[in-house]
Structure 1
Amino acid sequence: MSTPLAEGPAGPAPDSAVPHLGDPGDLANPFSYARAAELDRVEGFPDEACRDLDRLGVPAHYVPVEHGGVLQGYDRLVSVVRRLARRDLTLAVAHVKTFLGAVCVWTAGEKEQRAALAARVLRGEPVAWALTEPEHGSDLFASGTVAEPGPGGYLLTGRKWPVNNATRSGLVCVLARTDPEGGPRGFSFLLVDKAALPSASFAHLPKVRTHGIRGADISGIAFERAPVPAAALVGRSGNGIDTVLRALLLTRTVSTGLSLGAADQALALTGGFVREGVAAGRPLLEMGRNRRILGRAHAARLAAESVVELAARGLHVLPGEAAVSAAVAKSFVPTAVDRLIADCADIMGARGFLTEHYEHGRFQKLQRDHRIVGIFDGNTFVNQHSLIRQFPVLARHRASGRSAGLAPLADLAETVPPLEPDRLSLVAHRGCSLVGGAADLAEQVAAAPAPPALAAAARRFGEQCERVHERIARTDPAAAKSPPAQAFVLASDYEACFAGAAALALWLHGHRREARGPQAHLWQGGLWTEAVLTYVGELLEQRDAVRTSAFDRLAAAVEGSAGGTLPSLIGDDAEGGRR
């Protein structure tokens, strides 16, 4: 039986609402840590928690406002995903998948199709996104699922696996070959209603056992001449590849909210452990090594947060650059959080491996669960390869002065304009304003009334970015098709430049306002920004060449706040998300 949650009305949540999931220590709460641990042990799906999320109106966040939902800004959707992942990554992956399943209809579907799908999503009906196949993986051009002309529409044949919510979903958005020759215009999307299919025309493939997210419905579906009406076609016939590539710009950005929630969990657990723990008669928190590791982890989290926030806002403000920002976010953020979790595991020691005796085994579950985030919707290799292919464009458009128009992107007090999916570009033809203007941003910070340590860190960062741009300019454009290993190192460095530039832009456009707010201890003196630039400097140079005292000071500032509340730069997450 579901227990009423601490906050949140039934029905669609207001636009400003991020779901409140009640007391995680209450064993009767379906969102409790104990319940998540038990479901993980038995590989059980979080049915009750998903139903309560539906009752809280969370599906409204997956539906654009023009169709009765509350989705307007993708930065807000990221906050919702983050809040769910902060409590339980398995739950977040299971529930948020409906947005991924619906996104192709939002971006390419006809008005009537969008309205009909919205009504079902708002009722809490899960939607799956069926792209991958057992024989072809995520090579979309090799997809063997075929939609042949049939009476009144299509006959669908093929297998999709592994697919999140393939079994539980009522609707499946299927990529199928509509031209036997395939190619860029040979595939289309069909929104398949399983309830309307003859039972003999499809079958669910068994759930796959996984290392992490053990309770999620990772299964598959097979079709055998399943009759699908013509009205199920999403957008134009033959436009499937273009549709999925544009949709991935959205889903890759949104999915990084899972990593932010995981980082919140890891640091909350580790912070609690060091505040309580004692070794050799000394509190763990007083040990210099632990403080340095924690400070670096907090800096990594704030760097990831900076990237995600500006990538999400950029979908609205700079849609022509989304091919860069989405690739950077989906590569940089899960990788940074994997490393953050590993650093926290170093401090946690044996407590991080126990499945029952410390915090319900949350840390080891988190460590397993988060590994999937860097894999789905394009893994790190895929996203870095996408970035490498754009090196020639990025080299051509690196002129300074690009930072002048970044206020709508980086001023978090400004509401983003509505998303225009047709303006999302698959190649950033004018480069990346944020990284292109990194040196300019660094000079502005250094010239502003900034603290000396921040000004010095900004100057070093600006010089580092210039060297990265010079290396990109020397890259052979012909190597983009089959890039050497060194190109991926350069892609990682470009991601670090994006992170540092994002932090500088946020500081420039927010420090006067935020220095009077609840996170004033981090903004006054530019501490969080200096720490992020120090973290980025470690990524761009050898660690022993970078001054790391900012990590110690950041750790002290965090622990000096109320109860070790986690710092955040963003709205609802600025209270630290201890739950």
Structure 2
Amino acid sequence: MTKEPIHPGTATSGVPRTAPAGGGHHDDTRDARRRAARLDTLLGDPFDPANPHGLRALLAADDAREPPHVTEELLTSRHTAAEFVPLEHGGRLTRADLLVTALRPVFRRDLTLGFGFGITSLFAVSAVWAAGTPQQRRQSARLLLGGGRATIVHHHMAHANAVLRDELRAHPAPGGGFRLEGRKDAVINAARADSHVVYARTGAPDDDPHSHSVLLLDPAALPADRVRHHPRLPQVAPRGAHLSGIEFLDCPVPPQALVGRQGEGIPLAVRTVQVNRALVSGLVIGTVDTVLHATVRAALTGGRTRPARRWHTPLTGVFADLLACDAMATAALRSLSLFPAQTHATAAAVKYVVPDLLRECLSELQCVLGSAGPDPADPAGEALGRLVRDLPAAGLGHAGAAACQAVIIPQLPSLARHSWFTEPEPPPELFRPAARLPHLDYRLLGIAESRDVLTAALTGAATRLADTHDTPGPRGALARLAKTLVGELRALHERCRTLPPPGTATRVHPSLYALSARYALVAAAGAVLATWEAQDGSDPFLSEPAWAVLALTRLAGRLGLTAGEPPESCRQQVLQELVRRCRTATGYDLAATPCPW
């Protein structure tokens, strides 16, 4: 039997969910990796100039300001959109972290392809998965499983990009339903979508949390004379995305289009956006992974067995940063299964930290590629430049960072008073990729007071490492870094526990933005340490502390903390793995994913 919608506030317990008894869960990770491997093989070598799905073909589509239609058709034929449909409705969606595993082959090739082809459909129907009726859920599942697209028509936000400006209004209609009016000038796939999930104003003031409602619309069922499509926008980035305007002219909408309750739009957006934030962060790591591969290939040209010494620091640093980003994103994604009502702040911290670190990584790789002088026929430089251009447009720029800080700042006083140094450590399954976890259920997502599992993991790991503080070599360096970062958390604790509760201050002081940024970096450090501790020895490189020492050193440096230089043995070990993965066509992620390169 299909479950009825669960509304905000239902799941607020701090007790982690447990995986239900029975088969299936042990195979989830293996199945997702198999699907990813098949998709990677199908898409082929991104560096092969003759590959119709390679970087050269994708760059040509970008130059033509068109989506990569050939690759989109391939993904449709392989039913890739089934990844966005919950298992109970015939799809493959089980957990958020495994969705990233399955979709990274797409994002390894092209950020625009990843957003334009599919992930936008998931962002749209997430409100349906969270609060839709059984019929709405079945309807959306049939659409996506049949190769259709959904798009999201966001509500207005004062501080945002063009996608989030303007808004629609839905007035109650005599006899039931609504009359929809208004215009949005920038909607991705507005003219190509088979379903529109619309956030429309149904209430009055901006500060009313129940001012908006969600409507699930079938464009084919709407009166043609009441819907007007506007020309595609000549946007700078992403150039291949289909962004255009849509206008509703007193358009009748049936009552069964309402998703959840009237006035539930903003709570639904807040509940589901935490999944989107963690997903985007985890997926974009794959795009930077490809650029790092291309850069290492360029650094090894001319028969070199290893990159020139002047490139050791940036290349190993970027590799360590990618592993840190993956550790943090994966922890947030898995938290959505274990703590679905309490991951709000963690997801915001991930979305704040990961794009920032990735932008720094791209800057370092640009320097290496420029110095190494890659083959003119190699599209690596163009791919890197396009990624630098497209990251902000994908919600990974200033507006996205500000939105994440707006989530973190109000929670700092509560975290300081009730979580930091008192929160019990999260279950070890959170950081073990093969561990059994409950399936993600959008209906359980909540916006209750967040748990801070990452700082709890940091303090726990630091305590266990304390005995090795004076040990020479990588392990002693790791213990000292952990102690330094716990010291930073103590300083944050002292500062934040005296802050007024949310809603009592008249404005947000600029210093609070700095505190939120520092907190997010400390949380990232907790993810790195806990991921290192969770290793079972099956990956000798990840089981050694070298990568964690390098990642924590870079995080401490961003915080302005005195951490000293990492032992040279750490950098050499990371460098050796960097070269090995390049030569063996292995991804620079935590899973060391095999790639057909």
Question: In structure 2, do the counterparts of structure 1 residues 483 and 545 end up closer, same or farther at CA, with 3 Å as the change threshold?
Answer: farther
CA-CA distance at 1:220 after TM superposition: 2.2
Match of 2:464 in 1: 444
Match of 1:197 in 2: 222
Moved more, 137-146 or 259-268: 137-146
- SS of the residue 2:528 aligns to: helix
Paired AA for residue 156 in structure 1: L
Question: In structure 2, do the counterparts of structure 1 residues 25 and 351 end up closer, same or farther at CA, with 3 Å as the change threshold?
Answer: same
CA-CA distance at 1:393 after TM superposition: 0.9
- SS of the residue 1:206 aligns to: strand
CA-CA distance at 1:425 after TM superposition: 2.9
Paired AA for residue 575 in structure 1: T
Alignment match of 2:546 (pick from 527, 540, 543) = 527
CA-CA distance at 1:298 after TM superposition: 0.8
Is 1:388 equivalent to 2:409 in the alignment? yes
Is 1:88 equivalent to 2:110 in the alignment? yes
Match of 1:557 in 2: 577
Match of 1:164 in 2: 188
Moved more, 528-537 or 176-185: 176-185
Question: In structure 2, do the counterparts of structure 1 residues 377 and 115 end up closer, same or farther at CA, with 3 Å as the change threshold?
Answer: farther
Moved more, 124-133 or 469-478: 469-478
**Could you tell me whether the CA contact under 8 Å between 2:525 and 2:555 is conserved in 1?**
yes
C-alpha distance in 2 between matches for 1:471 and 1:548: 33
C-alpha distance in 1 between matches for 2:176 and 2:341: 38
C-alpha distance in 2 between matches for 1:262 and 1:463: 34
- SS of the residue 2:415 aligns to: helix
Moved more, 440-449 or 453-462: 440-449
Alignment match of 1:102 (pick from 115, 125, 129) = 125
Match of 2:480 in 1: 456
- SS of the residue 1:338 aligns to: helix
Higher relative contact order (CA 8 A, sep 6+): 2
CA-CA distance at 1:471 after TM superposition: 2.9
**Could you tell me whether the CA contact under 8 Å between 1:435 and 1:501 is conserved in 2?**
yes
Alignment match of 2:153 (pick from 117, 125, 130) = 130
C-alpha distance in 2 between matches for 1:466 and 1:342: 32
Match of 1:314 in 2: 335
Question: In structure 2, do the counterparts of structure 1 residues 552 and 538 end up closer, same or farther at CA, with 3 Å as the change threshold?
Answer: farther
- SS of the residue 1:372 aligns to: helix
- SS of the residue 1:118 aligns to: helix
- SS of the residue 1:413 aligns to: coil
Match of 2:436 in 1: 415
CA-CA distance at 1:135 after TM superposition: 8.8
Moved more, 174-183 or 79-88: 174-183
Match of 1:540 in 2: 559
Match of 1:289 in 2: 310
- SS of the residue 1:237 aligns to: coil
Match of 1:70 in 2: 92
Question: In structure 2, do the counterparts of structure 1 residues 56 and 442 end up closer, same or farther at CA, with 3 Å as the change threshold?
Answer: same
C-alpha distance in 1 between matches for 2:322 and 2:401: 18
Residue-by-residue CA offset, 1:259-311 (whole Å, 9 max, x unaligned): 21222022111111111169xxxx69543331101111111111110111000
C-alpha distance in 2 between matches for 1:472 and 1:235: 36
**Could you tell me whether the CA contact under 8 Å between 1:314 and 1:322 is conserved in 2?**
yes
Moved more, 538-547 or 200-209: 538-547
CA-CA distance at 1:477 after TM superposition: 4.2
Match of 1:426 in 2: 447
C-alpha distance in 2 between matches for 1:246 and 1:48: 35
What does 1:498-509 align with in structure 2 at a 5 Å threshold?
498-509=523-534
Match of 2:198 in 1: 174
C-alpha distance in 1 between matches for 2:200 and 2:530: 42
Alignment match of 1:238 (pick from 247, 260, 263) = 263
Moved more, 447-456 or 187-196: 447-456
**Could you tell me whether the CA contact under 8 Å between 2:458 and 2:482 is conserved in 1?**
no
C-alpha distance in 2 between matches for 1:50 and 1:106: 24
**Could you tell me whether the CA contact under 8 Å between 2:150 and 2:197 is conserved in 1?**
yes
- Length-normalised TM-score, structure 1: 0.87
Moved more, 400-409 or 488-497: 400-409
Match of 1:115 in 2: 138
Question: In structure 2, do the counterparts of structure 1 residues 189 and 353 end up closer, same or farther at CA, with 3 Å as the change threshold?
Answer: farther
Moved more, 368-377 or 497-506: 368-377
Question: In structure 2, do the counterparts of structure 1 residues 426 and 222 end up closer, same or farther at CA, with 3 Å as the change threshold?
Answer: same
- Length-normalised TM-score, structure 2: 0.85
Question: In structure 2, do the counterparts of structure 1 residues 378 and 243 end up closer, same or farther at CA, with 3 Å as the change threshold?
Answer: farther
Alignment match of 1:266 (pick from 282, 291, 295) = 291
- SS of the residue 1:390 aligns to: helix
| Ranges in structure 2 where 5+ consecutive residues have no aligned partner | 1-29
- SS of the residue 2:353 aligns to: helix
| Ranges in structure 1 where 5+ consecutive residues have no aligned partner | 1-12
Residue-by-residue CA offset, 1:383-410 (whole Å, 9 max, x unaligned): 0121011111111123536354331211
**Could you tell me whether the CA contact under 8 Å between 1:162 and 1:218 is conserved in 2?**
yes
Is 1:52 equivalent to 2:78 in the alignment? no
Paired AA for residue 439 in structure 1: T
C-alpha distance in 2 between matches for 1:358 and 1:538: 33
What is the aligned residue count?
Answer: 554
Is 1:79 equivalent to 2:79 in the alignment? no
C-alpha distance in 2 between matches for 1:142 and 1:27: 39
